[in-house]
Structure 1
């Protein structure tokens, strides 16, 4: 490895606070050194984002004042997540993120400043390409992250619109969590080299368990199961948003603090609920398959399939949220006696789970605060931590995950009297701005 590359790698790993790349990442990095177009196949949670960000980082020209790389992702949450990882690298390169539910005007202004990297969803990027607000002539690299998911969600036409505006001479990185067949006709190459880690080093220690109930008592069976997870993170997967909402109402009735996630929610609510879950303010997420792939969710101990997906791929992706990177976890199937065990599963792989009675939920140690200042106000995480310590009187150990958004911030805090803390903070100056502070609902 060249000295300059070694220095870049050292800086990259240091900023991420990790010791080194894993085997899959090293294999992909080596492959893209040799080939302009490469496909990476690897399971959810294996580190595909870091695998493509390092060679992307190496390709960027610090003297250029133009957009050099385009990262296309299937969901808004994944776009935001990659942006956060990119910024944590502290490379000095500029990044802009585009997705539905975000201000089109803000995006156009940002794109007009020619960021080095643009990250976005197919629909919104297609809008910018068609309106001329995204300059494509200078793009040297296109990353299609979770490409199979983008096609599965029906973004074929939007992707074609984007590729029509590209020169075709770019490098292309494609990632997928499933095997892919023939590439769509708009992709300007065939049969790229494949780095396949889908079935390698599969040492996941996932225990599969079956919760058998009557149809009438299925939701009560779920409640009895959930009540055993005191303080341990879990996701309940449903096929439809109506089931998510129904279970959420029942959890509220029993006093269980939780978050929900499905495609019918407003973008701000989706982001806020994921922040609550990531930061440990809530330990339980009720979600559709929107939460099964691509999201940076911390290690989950329990995955519950309240409704089984129709295909094995979806079942696998859900389980990929736990037992990641050789950790252990439990996957539960809640099956009523009038439901059919799916053909793609073997009953012999499941042991019967023992569930007791419903017990009261333990209160969360953390609360989530909203602050009315964010990245666009030149506020950093250090600024917020200092504000909470100096003005709020908190100890540093009581400050949890801090999440910066454009014009707002969220921070998890451990505090016995949140009302008094908010009273001390609300209306005080954070840097030069008076900020509103409230508990995020």
Structure 2
């Protein structure tokens, strides 16, 4: 099947050709005709399936065929959970609308809002946004949502995971009831179905998985070791393998910073990306990683969600996630577009339960190895005992002197 057979216009076909695409992916093949018909869509599609073009292309065609309003009010809204995903969606929108008279813009937090407000007031046809900044600028009357014709909720499951449900409901209330709604989610949880029932009208169910399953396209491996040996092991793997582009996952923001700093000290260029980093720092780190200036990008799950890094060869789980589905999202960063990839997990004895949960979800047993010099020597009891000691040592001590009032009273001091 060709893109032309899907009913797309010549300007869009020209833009698709310019990007080097020749045949539509399964999600594009299934979703585009229904969206062009004006139907609401409930789509199950993971990152790497081509879902962004699946909603962007028909959305652009519908808008280009509609009335061209002089002041360009926002007519299409794409909501995303993260800043990085929002920026990448805008990039696709701009690429595909190269030969169309449509203006698009992105708004998200962590950066100065003044340029965003100026762009909105100059007129925007398509707006890509994260929920928080959208509500903030709408409250400042920078734009109106009263002319919305198409709403896209992208990665809706992650938006709910991040606590955006209340914001989404507020945003829905700001738009006209008569509009086309497109909801894309990697999973159809009970909460997603409940949300879909509140605003989708007779939706078409579209399901598409990547061309290869995770197991087929990604070589998965587990190295058992001590927690204290993980940094040395990851350094050896990267150095000995001469790996040039590695995405590493940690469970916490502090852990991402600490590991990135340790890798830098060994001569491996590295950058951390997580929610506490400024948007400028996150953009710089991602750009450096894509262009090869940074060999290792250390990320938390939320920060890495939606990152579009083509042909990424290596993913390392420095720490396993406690939610098995997050493991699938993590290793789905590699082995994309038909390319092979490698996913390595460094597992200490206290993470064995996480491994069992992942294997149950995948329906397969992960290959486990021990590297010479990095053998696991700790028991679970030893690890748990050390954790308890560290927690006790890091607990802030109460300073009664700081709790005294200015009058010198013993307010806040424990009474005997």
Q: Same fold (TM over 0.5)?
A: yes
| Post-superposition CA distance 1:124-165 (Å, at most 9, x none) | 111122332221121110111111111110111221221111
TM superposition score normalised by structure 1: 0.75
C-alpha distance 289-229 of structure 1, shift in aligned 2 (>3 A): farther
Aligned equivalents of 1:106 and 1:186: distance in 2?
A: 36
C-alpha distance 338-41 of structure 1, shift in aligned 2 (>3 A): closer
Candidates 179, 198, 201, aligned match of 2:209: 198
* Residue number in structure 2 paired with 1:72: 79
Aligned residues: 358
C-alpha distance 270-289 of structure 1, shift in aligned 2 (>3 A): same
Give runs of aligned pairs for residues 7-18 of structure 1, distance below 5 A: 7-18=10-21
* Residue number in structure 1 paired with 2:26: 23
* Residue number in structure 2 paired with 1:345: 358
Contact 1:141-1:171 within 8 A present in 2 as well:
yes
Q: Which has the higher helix share?
A: 2
Task: Using the TM superposition, name which of 100-109 and 254-263 deviates more.
Answer: 100-109
How far off is 1:54 after superposition? 0.3
Aligned equivalents of 2:81 and 2:162: distance in 1?
A: 8
Unpaired stretches in structure 1, ≥5 consecutive residues: 359-441
How far off is 1:199 after superposition? 7.3
Candidates 289, 297, 316, aligned match of 2:301: 289
Higher gyration radius (CA): 2
1:170 and 2:179 matched: yes
1:103 and 2:112 matched: yes
Q: Which has the higher strand share?
A: 1
How far off is 1:110 after superposition? 1.3
C-alpha distance 122-13 of structure 1, shift in aligned 2 (>3 A): same
Give runs of aligned pairs for residues 387-426 of structure 1, distance below 5 A: none
Candidates 117, 120, 128, aligned match of 2:129: 120
| Post-superposition CA distance 1:237-282 (Å, at most 9, x none) | 0110111111112112211112211111111000000000111112
How far off is 1:47 after superposition? 1.1
Task: Using the TM superposition, name which of 193-202 and 294-303 deviates more.
Answer: 193-202
Contact 1:62-1:93 within 8 A present in 2 as well:
no
Candidates 44, 47, 50, aligned match of 1:44: 47
Contact 1:258-1:282 within 8 A present in 2 as well:
yes
Aligned equivalents of 1:94 and 1:271: distance in 2?
A: 23
* Residue number in structure 1 paired with 2:265: 253
Give runs of aligned pairs for residues 347-386 of structure 1, distance below 5 A: 349-353=365-369, 355=371
Could you list the runs of 4 or more consecutive aligned residues of structure 1 that deviate by over 4 angstroms after TM superposition?
1-4, 353-358
Task: Using the TM superposition, name which of 278-287 and 341-350 deviates more.
Answer: 341-350
* Residue number in structure 1 paired with 2:157: 148
How far off is 1:174 after superposition? 1.0
How far off is 1:354 after superposition? 6.6
Aligned equivalents of 1:22 and 1:71: distance in 2?
A: 21
Aligned equivalents of 1:237 and 1:247: distance in 2?
A: 10
Aligned equivalents of 2:284 and 2:304: distance in 1?
A: 18
Contact 1:292-1:317 within 8 A present in 2 as well:
no
1:130 and 2:139 matched: yes
Give runs of aligned pairs for residues 320-339 of structure 1, distance below 5 A: 320-339=332-351
Unpaired stretches in structure 2, ≥5 consecutive residues: 375-416
TM superposition score normalised by structure 2: 0.80
